[in-house]
Amino acid sequence: MMIKILGSGCPNCQRLENQARQAIGELKKEDAQVEHVYDMDKIIAYGVMSTPALVIDEVVKSSGRIPDVEEIKEWLQ
């Protein structure tokens, strides 16, 4: 499973990454890999116009907001 955080590295992007890592840990998803994508061309290629964004297995799950850990866990199951 590949999880991508799309964003510039701002505090909201970092918070989203922390939320995703917490959800992964709580679900014990050892196969999950987290990548932070900073390149704006790559972010735009996902159709994302507002960051931070969360992509799970190449599907954009959220954009422009920080979902809570429980919501992320639902997407990971």
Give the count of beta carbons closer than 10 Å to the beta carbon of residue 3: 23
State the pLDDT at residue 64.
96
State the pLDDT at residue 20.
97
State the pLDDT at residue 65.
96
Does the active-site annotation cover 10?
Answer: yes
CATH code assigned at 11: 3.40.30.10
Write out the residue range of the structural domain in which residue 55 sits: 2-76
Question: Count of domains in the chain?
Answer: 1
Does the active-site annotation cover 62?
Answer: no
Give the type of residue at 44: I
CB 37 within 8 A of CB 43: yes
Q: pLDDT truncated to tens, each residue of the chain (77 aa)?
A: 999 999 999 999 999 999 999 999 999 999 999 999 999 999 999 999 999 999 999 999 999 999 999 999 999 99
Q: What angle do CA 33, 70, 11 make, to 5 degrees?
A: 65
* Catalytic member of 10, 34, 44, 45: 10
Chain Cα centroid distance, residue 69: 11
